[in-house]
Chains A and B, each alone.
Chain A
Amino acid sequence: MVQQQELETVDININMGPQHPSTHGVFRMVLTVDGEKVIDVEPHIGYMHRGGEKLSENMDYRQGIGYQDRTDYLTQFLNEQAYCMAVEKLTKLEVPERAEYLRVILCELNRITSHLMFIGAFGIDLGLFGTSFMYAFREREYIQDIFEEVSGERMMYGYFRPGGVVWDVPENFVQRVREVLPQTKQGLKDLDMLLTNNEIFVARSKGVGAISAEDAIDWGLTGPMLRASGVPWDLRKDQPYSVYDRFDFDIPIGQYGDVYDRYLVRLEETHQSIRIVEQALEQLPEGPILPEKLPRKLRAPEGEVYAAVENARGEYGIYIVSKGGDKPYRLKIRSPSFSNLSALRTMTIGNYIADAVAILGSVDIVLCDVDR
């Protein structure tokens, strides 16, 4: 006679990362799982910490730009924009019209490249091995070529300066952007056809990792993460900076706040960015790119400023405390990746392990931005 033993279940811990192919960098999640279900998540960050904020205290206002490129390395122009806006606010520099338009064009193109990177990588997270990634990267490369022709670098542009941009764009810039935009549209259409209605893709992403609008606001989410939950909050519309109030564009919002909605919001945002670029190219004025009376060494008066831009991931803010002189006394970066990542636990608990990968992918973090 077999004696019936009472079986007990034990929760086990699984380390996901820091060297995991789908953690988008060096990010470690300690998952407590009950069978296939995730019942607790403990995120560990800090593997990429380089002390960018502290280093910036020893850099003058021109040298600090290079460190902004290196926080969120997919939206470098937007970060530079935030930093330059903060310094301009502090030193009361006026930016010439042409520089503002150039900034807007480059920033919006940068948003497209960042979202293309997300769409490509998100396909990998959902098990679409490499296909979407390669397609997205090919389209991204056309825009990347423009950035290279303008600034000379492929990744760390260092092109914006407090007061404008460092040098003028090449003569054929407008023509080049007009050439590339139809290609990008076609590429986005391909990706749209490949993914959006694909039944496998939808089955993996719809209804996964939903977060309500209240929760999203409570966690301080910004950007596509917040808009996917149905909150139409975009700094470009709600606190217009630069010349964004002159363009006509829509803010796409989602309905359920799940992984699929975040993908849709980002896909639609790329189309809106193309709209902005097209309008900005029409209106691009001639003129100087830096203010006339720009001192050789920028010195700021005492004071505190906060300037924020709508990054591809959310609100990227720079807070500078100055005690006079040519260096900031303290520089704080409000990075969207870090705030968005804080909601990971709420979104992941109760889902399957495989969905944890999809949820992390949908947050679209850049680890250099989280750890700074």
Chain B
Amino acid sequence: MIGILKAMYVTFAMTLRKPVTIEYPTKHREVPQRDRAFPILLWDKDVDEPFCTGCHACERACPVECMTVTMKDNPLHADDKSKRRKIIDEFWIDYGRCMRCNICVEVCNFEAIAMNNTWAGHELSKFDRNDLVLDLDQLLSQHKQEKIDTWVAE
């Protein structure tokens, strides 16, 4: 009997506590800076082109092979506006396959790819599975338009 009374005391004490839950769709919890949603590509605002040179390093390191990369000659390099001889031509990431292991960010030599650490990276529900395959424009758009404080370990 004493044990049950003790248990009742715990449950009654709990009713006086403040709830720790957040009403999710209306309110968003703050995500930590290192938060790893899905990888996005970064935009070099000084030269107005992506950082990515299409070197295939991430594509080769990806454990689940969710990336497809092709490169081309950089037209801006010919005009002497950019130091990059090669630039990314096409880039697809299948978010449905990605397992968010962060290896692509680790192997990138140009800091051209980062894990999305905003809520936009988490709320990706789509009606069609094929919509989860993102092309170059979609991957670049978030960093192109808004300032994201991406975190890449040294």
Residues of B at the A interface (CB closer than 8 Å) are: 1-4, 6-7, 9-11, 13-14, 20, 32, 34-36, 61, 63, 99-103, 106, 115, 117, 151, 153-154
Q: Is the CB of B7 within 8 A of A62?
A: no
Q: Is the CB of B36 within 8 A of A152?
A: yes
**A36 at interface (Cβ–Cβ under 8 A)?**
no
Residue of B11, B20, B32, B153 contacting most chain A CB atoms (<10 Å): B32
Beyond contacts A148-B34, A150-B34: 15 other A-B pairs, Cβ-Cβ < 8 A, are A63-B61, A63-B103, A66-B101, A67-B63, A131-B11, A138-B20, A148-B32, A148-B35, A151-B36, A152-B32, A153-B100, A156-B99, A166-B106, A170-B34, A198-B6
Known: A138-B20, A148-B32. A202 touches B3 (CB 8 A): yes
Q: In the complex, what residue of chain A is closest to B36 when comparing beta carbons? A: A152
**A1 at interface (Cβ–Cβ under 8 A)?**
no
**A354 at interface (Cβ–Cβ under 8 A)?**
no
Task: Please measure, in the bound complex, the distance between the C-alpha atom of A150 and the C-alpha atom of B9, giving whole angstroms.
Answer: 36
Contacts of B117 in A (CB 8 A): 152
**A190 at interface (Cβ–Cβ under 8 A)?**
yes
Task: Please measure, in the bound complex, the distance between the C-alpha atom of A135 and the C-alpha atom of B99, giving whole angstroms.
Answer: 30
A-B residue pairs, 3 tightest by C-beta: A167-B153, A197-B3, A63-B63
Contacts of B13 in A (CB 8 A): 190
Q: Is the CB of A193 within 8 A of B7?
A: yes
Residues of A in contact with B, size category: 20 to 34
Q: Is the CB of A149 within 8 A of B34?
A: yes
Contacts of B20 in A (CB 8 A): 138, 141
Contacts of B34 in A (CB 8 A): 148-152, 170
Interface class of chain A by DSSP: helix
Contacts of A196 in B (CB 8 A): 3
Contacts of B32 in A (CB 8 A): 148-149, 152
Q: In the complex, what residue of chain A is closest to B14 when comparing beta carbons? A: A135
Task: Please measure, in the bound complex, the distance between the C-alpha atom of A168 and the C-alpha atom of B154, giving whole angstroms.
Answer: 9
Task: Please measure, in the bound complex, the distance between the C-alpha atom of A135 and the C-alpha atom of B20, giving whole angstroms.
Answer: 11
In whole Å, how far is B2's beta carbon from the nearest beta carbon of chain A? 7
In whole Å, how far is B13's beta carbon from the nearest beta carbon of chain A? 8
**A223 at interface (Cβ–Cβ under 8 A)?**
no
Known: A152-B115, A194-B10. A66 touches B99 (CB 8 A): yes
Q: In the complex, what residue of chain A is closest to B154 when comparing beta carbons? A: A167
Q: In the complex, what residue of chain B is closest to A62 when comparing beta carbons? A: B103
Task: Please measure, in the bound complex, the distance between the C-alpha atom of A197 and the C-alpha atom of B3, giving whole angstroms.
Answer: 5
Contacts of A152 in B (CB 8 A): 32, 34-36, 102, 115, 117, 151
Contacts of A67 in B (CB 8 A): 63
**A238 at interface (Cβ–Cβ under 8 A)?**
no
Interface string of A161-174 (1 = CB under 8 A from B): 00000111010000
**A6 at interface (Cβ–Cβ under 8 A)?**
no
Q: Of A64, A148, A153, A194, which is within 8 A of B7 by CB?
A: A194
Contacts of A63 in B (CB 8 A): 61, 63, 101, 103
Q: Is the CB of A166 within 8 A of B153?
A: yes
**A59 at interface (Cβ–Cβ under 8 A)?**
yes
Q: Show 26 A/B contacts (Cβ-Cβ < 8 Å), sorted by A.
A: A62-B103, A65-B101, A66-B63, A66-B99, A148-B34, A150-B34, A152-B34, A152-B102, A152-B115, A153-B100, A156-B100, A158-B102, A166-B102, A166-B106, A166-B153, A167-B153, A167-B154, A193-B7, A194-B6, A196-B3, A197-B2, A197-B3, A197-B6, A199-B1, A199-B3, A202-B3
